[in-house]
Structure 1
Amino acid sequence: MKKLSLFIISLLVVGLLAACGTSTDDGKGSTSGSESEDKKVLKMATSADYPPFEYIDTAKGSDIIGFDIDLANALAEKTGYEIEVQDMDFNSLIPALQAKQIDIVLSGMTPTPEREENVDFSDIYYTANHMIISLKDKEIKSLEELEGKTIGVQLGSIQEEKATEISEQVDLKIENRNKISDLIQELKSGRIDAAIIEDLVANGYIEKDKDLAGFTLNAPEDEAGSAIAFQKDSKYTEEFNEALNEMKENGELEDLVSKWFGGEE
């Protein structure tokens, strides 16, 4: 009886050891597979005060949403990455790329020669015009009416350069602020007389606030438009360009434009 019991125990021990060996092998295989399927996370920064490009709809939550966010996620999906979005002041975006704190920037950014010295850009994905907005009861309808006035712009934006260009034709004072919402508040409080904002963004504010009015400055034919910014010599630039061109060709980019701007590019 004892011999039989020992024999049965031996069989059980051998079986358990075999089972453990199989489990270990399977576990290693599973871990290896999951690692190979993981997507690399790219850190993206934006200035989330620029609807409909990027903003936070506080009535719906705390997530950053908008055209640039949808575009970034679509491009990341095509290139096999995931996007992690963070909010920064606009004038901090390029320094963050230079310091390698982030991988990409989508924030309605124009690739000017000065910026191209410090970062790389994708192909253009959207082109818009500038708009000068003012209070309706003190409406400014032409560049000539800016004579002697104070005009506000977002710090580090292409509109800051536009204001400098206008100041060569008209005697005016330029004030800059970190956020578009700051410009609107300064305008309504009377600390500035007008502000230069991209037309799509400006129209959004005008639709929500009946005290505001504006007129559009027609952009020159060689106006660059908006592009994605990368670290200098980034390997992601070519990958995202290929995906962006695919979206242009198959109509996906046009669909995003229609979704966020209500019209075609």
Structure 2
Amino acid sequence: MKTLKVAALGLGAMIAVAGCSSDTDGAEASGAAPAGLMRGGELSVCTDPEYPPMEYFDAGDTTNPVGFTSDSAKALADLWDVDIAWQITSFDGLMPALQAQRCDVLWTALYLSPERLEVADGTPFLETGPGLIVRTGENGITGADDLSGRTVAVQGGGSNELTLKRLSGEFEAAGKPGITIQAYPKTAETVAAVTNGKADALIETDVAVVDMVSKSGGALQAIPGAFPTDTKFAVYTRKDSPLSAPLAAAVQTMHENGTLDEIAVRYGLDPARITTG
């Protein structure tokens, strides 16, 4: 792996430089790198390293994120024989950062959704779905149907929030109380909301549920099978980007040669859930 670089950006900075030109000269000259990189010899990756085991900072290192998606992005840079540069931003600023050309790819724990595919190209890499967490000993919630009339915490701006809104609408259409949705910027805040009794439950991607429960000191428990595993994580490029096809091919290659399987096992994920279709 070549040199690692980190850039921490706010949304204002993203917008301010949205019109900057991209330097693609020489991109093809760097090993197997495809045409279309903003800077020749460098893969710039947008991520929000707040989500173990997918992407996070470990042991006080705030420059080099680790986790399934982070290590996969590093493997992609190795495959293309280029450096990797991290563009660290908040969850709700990830897609705007990609659109503002602050990175070549957006590889973090984002669902593949029709809304995102309207503005970006997505390549799936892992099957997933929502998971449900409650306080330990909470006997009134055994599944999604028990969320009627409850307060549920969620990281705002993602598909899990949309899932809650749809479910709440279904409750109300059936004459039942809807869900009071508490949306927070960070997942740690959703955990605190449930632990402190501000919310009855939290909805989070199933790959993160085990980690969140294990770190709660016994305060939280997962509700298995509350939601189906019915979606996928995807790595994104800008719509119709020249990188879209090479990226899809690279992810397929890393799946076939076992690279993604090895990374999945490293972080306690089931390699059987890796998908490229």
| Contact 2:143–2:226 (Cα < 8 Å) also in 1 | no
Give the Cα–Cα distance (whole angstroms) in 2 for the partners of residues 249 and 138 of structure 1. 43
By how many angstroms is 1:217 displaced? Answer: 2.9
Partner of 1:12: none
Give the Cα–Cα distance (whole angstroms) in 1 for the partners of residues 154 and 92 of structure 2. 12
Identity of aligned residues (%): 27
Partner of 1:85: 86
Name which of 206, 210, 228 aligns with 1:203.
210
Determine whether 1:191 maps to 2:191: no
Name which of 209, 212, 232 aligns with 2:220.
212
By how many angstroms is 1:262 displaced? Answer: 4.7
By how many angstroms is 1:155 displaced? Answer: 1.4
Partner of 1:30: none
RMSD of Structure 2 on Structure 1 (CA): 1.9
Partner of 2:72: 71
Q: 4+ residue stretches of structure 1 with deviation over 3 A?
A: 36-39
**Equivalent residues in 2 for 1:1-265 (5 A)?**
40-57=41-58, 59-62=59-62, 63-122=64-123, 124-139=124-139, 140-170=141-171, 171-209=178-216, 210-215=218-223, 216-219=225-228, 223-265=230-272
TM-score, normalised relative to structure 1: 0.79
Query: More helix by proportion, 1 or 2?
Result: 1
Give the Cα–Cα distance (whole angstroms) in 2 for the partners of residues 37 and 189 of structure 1. 52
Amino acid in the other structure paired with 2:220 = L
By how many angstroms is 1:177 displaced? Answer: 1.0
Amino acid in the other structure paired with 2:49 = A
By how many angstroms is 1:51 displaced? Answer: 0.5
Q: Secondary structure at the match of 2:54?
A: coil
Structure 1 or 2, whichever has the larger Rg, is 1
Instruction: Give structure 2 stretches of 5+ with no counterpart.
Output: 1-28, 32-39, 172-177, 273-277
TM-score, normalised relative to structure 2: 0.76
Give the Cα–Cα distance (whole angstroms) in 2 for the partners of residues 41 and 264 of structure 1. 28
Distance verdict in 2 for CA 1:88–1:109, change over 3 Å = same
